Amino acid sequence: MALNLHDQLVVAISSRALFDFEEENNVFEHGNDAAYVALQRQRLELPAAPGVAFSLVRKLLAFNSAEHQRVEVVLLSRNDPVSGMRVFRSCRAHGLPSVQRGVFTQGRDPFGYLRPLGAHLFLSANEADVRQALHLGYPAARVLTESVQAGDAHPHEVRIAFDGDAVLFSDEAERVFQAQGLAAFQQHETDKAAQPLPEGPFKPLLVALHRLQQAADTGMRVRTALVTARSAPAHERAIRTLMDWNIAVDEAMFLGGLPKGEFLREFEPDFFFDDQTGHVTSAAQHVPSGHVSSGIANPPPVGTAQKNMG
């Protein structure tokens, strides 16, 4: 029987999301491909430091046991194969020997490989790749490499925080807010309180995390939080939507426009996902954060694709 990953939570991640390759990426952006590859060759025996998503990956892999492989992490990178060798060596050096699969495209678009992987999440520092992955229907976020890294306060919990509209849910309500203002938004959500919101790009990840939590027997658990600018009475539709999905989050924060960063600092997530650049930039000062380029708040960019190794 052919091997497949269908019964696992699959995370595809770029080199810069998992490890700190900012110095090397700076050489790539301001020099040339050859200089970048030469630098990676020089540092082949030097493990890269952990990056923003390292804590998330390490904890997710802790759900695996000798009997059950529940999480698969695959490197999916614009890096060249030589740089890929350094990434694998860095994984081993930092206690991630189970990261054994990788695709290194040497500058070519990597997001097409999400389909054969069946990925539930794609994390990359390359905005163009993230946008394309979201367009294909995969939960994806641009990792803010300047984010504060997660601490070690909760070694047996994977903590993940999600924004609501345009992340877990569609941007239907956000469109009303943008076009007609807060009062119309509140009335719209009150009128439709009993009608579940359409799903957003990150519902598949929430479902996969729920399934992982239900199957866990390794001493690890998943703790999730909904962190949204909604407030009463618009909170009800969000809660009813989760009830309709038969998924419960552990915490829900209806902040009514308050800055999310300090609340997230108290929750201490291994990662936070939001579609609003202002929210996610603020959050990155406190917790590992990723920007979800979806919904009305993120119109298609004008100009050329961002040049970096992702």
| Tens-digit pLDDT profile for residues 37-49 | 888 899 999 999 9
The position carrying tokens 């519902």 is: 203
Domain that holds residue 81: 9-143
1, part of any domain: no
Q: Has residue 179 got a pLDDT over 50?
A: yes
Is residue 291 within 8 A of residue 280, CB to CB? The reply is yes
Based on the residue annotation, tell me whether 152 is a catalytic residue of this protein. no
Alpha-carbon gap, residue 14 to 125, rounded angstroms: 7
Q: Are residues 163 and 285 in the same domain?
A: yes
Cis peptide before 233 (omega within 30 of 0): yes
pLDDT digit string, tens, across residues 76-110 = 998 888 889 999 999 999 999 999 999 999 888 89
Q: Are residues 198 and 77 in the same domain?
A: no
Element (H, E) at 207: helix 203-215
Indicate the number of domains in the chain: 2
Q: Are residues 41 and 123 in the same domain?
A: yes
pTM of the predicted model as reported, rounded to 2 decimal places: 0.92
Selected catalytic residue, list 20, 163, 165, 171: 163
